[in-house]
Amino acid sequence: MKFKSPPVNSLSLEFLTEFSIGLEKLENNRACRGVIITSAVPKIFSSGLDITEMCGKSVEHYGEFWRAVQEMWLRLYGSNMVTVAAVNGSSPAGGCLIALSCDYRIMAENPKFSIGLNEAQLGIVAPFWFKDTFVNVVGHRIAERSLQLGSLHPAPEAQRLGLVDELVPEEKLMEKAAAVMAQWLALPDHARQLTKTMMRKAVLDRLVAHREEDIKNFITFVSKESIQKSLRMYMEMLKKRKS
């Protein structure tokens, strides 16, 4: 799957819905045993959740948007397929969540590309299931420090922390992703899938059990004037940085 929503592959409601439907179709296709996720937008894997979806919209919209974020994660993290992220650009916040939700992460070895859950920098808090997914990849200590600081880790540091599994020159990224996929697909699906479920079930079940509460919490949080202000200021900062 190649993300192609210029300029930055931000995860809008439309993007998330299409992504989830795409995953569902592949999941239901018995001929498809694995998926490599990458980007067709130069230098950007995904800029994370589309901030404009969280600014100045109705309560109903926030609810619909958050349900779509949850749905995407439940499908990707809970997928029976082998999932490999070929991270060919920067990948903050929601973009990082997508990579973390895959079975294996390969990143282009460009120190200008960074990845991490930087929510704290925006004055917002990564939800518990973002945190759980992060902890399952890098462990508690690294996740705690990185989340509190809202760190975006340049590719070499991300590899040192275990946030990505390996770095390769950008031109070798897809070749490497295909080789990793072949290695994972060499195993019988049944054993691999049961093992994956065993490792991820508790974290998935936790969101399923608290899904409606999580949506309510998101709506309450994002509707606060202080949070709206932080998000607006962040968007302004992005625009100013550009000019």
Ligand X SMILES: CCCCCCCC/C=C\CC(=O)SCCNC(=O)CCNC(=O)[C@H](O)C(C)(C)COP(=O)(O)OP(=O)(O)OC[C@H]1O[C@@H](n2cnc3c(N)ncnc32)[C@H](O)[C@@H]1OP(=O)(O)O
Binding site for ligand X (CB under 6 A): 7-8, 10, 44, 47-52, 90, 92-94, 118-119, 122, 124-127, 217-218, 221, 235, 238-239, 242
Smallest gap from residue 11 Cβ to ligand X (A): 7
CB under 8 Å to 10, separation ≥6 — which residues? 46, 47, 48, 49, 50, 51, 52
> Which is catalytic among the residues 11, 13, 23, 49?
49
**Nearer CB in complex with ligand X: 151/159:** 151
Edge-to-edge strand ranges of the sheet holding 2-3: 2-3, 34-39, 82-87, 104-108, 166-168
Smallest gap from residue 170 Cβ to ligand X (A): 16
> Cβ(94)–Cβ(49) under 8 Å?
yes
Look up tokens 């600014």; give the residue: 55
CB under 8 Å to 104, separation ≥6 — which residues? 82, 83, 84, 85, 165, 180, 184
Smallest gap from residue 99 Cβ to ligand X (A): 12
Residue 94 annotated to the active site: yes
Residue 49 annotated to the active site: yes
| Run of H or E residues at 35 | strand 34-39
**Nearer CB in complex with ligand X: 34/92:** 92
> Which is catalytic among the residues 26, 34, 117, 118?
118
Is residue 194 packed enough to be buried (19+ CB in 10 Å), middle (13-18) or exposed (0-12)?
exposed
**Nearer CB in complex with ligand X: 81/215:** 215
**Nearer CB in complex with ligand X: 86/181:** 86
Smallest gap from residue 117 Cβ to ligand X (A): 8
How far apart CA 206 and CA 201 sit, in angstroms, is 8
How far apart CA 110 and CA 107 sit, in angstroms, is 8
How far apart CA 25 and CA 220 sit, in angstroms, is 33
**Nearer CB in complex with ligand X: 205/213:** 213
Smallest gap from residue 152 Cβ to ligand X (A): 8
> Which is catalytic among the residues 89, 94, 95, 116?
94
Look up tokens 């946030």; give the residue: 163
Q: Which residues are catalytic?
A: 49, 94, 118-119
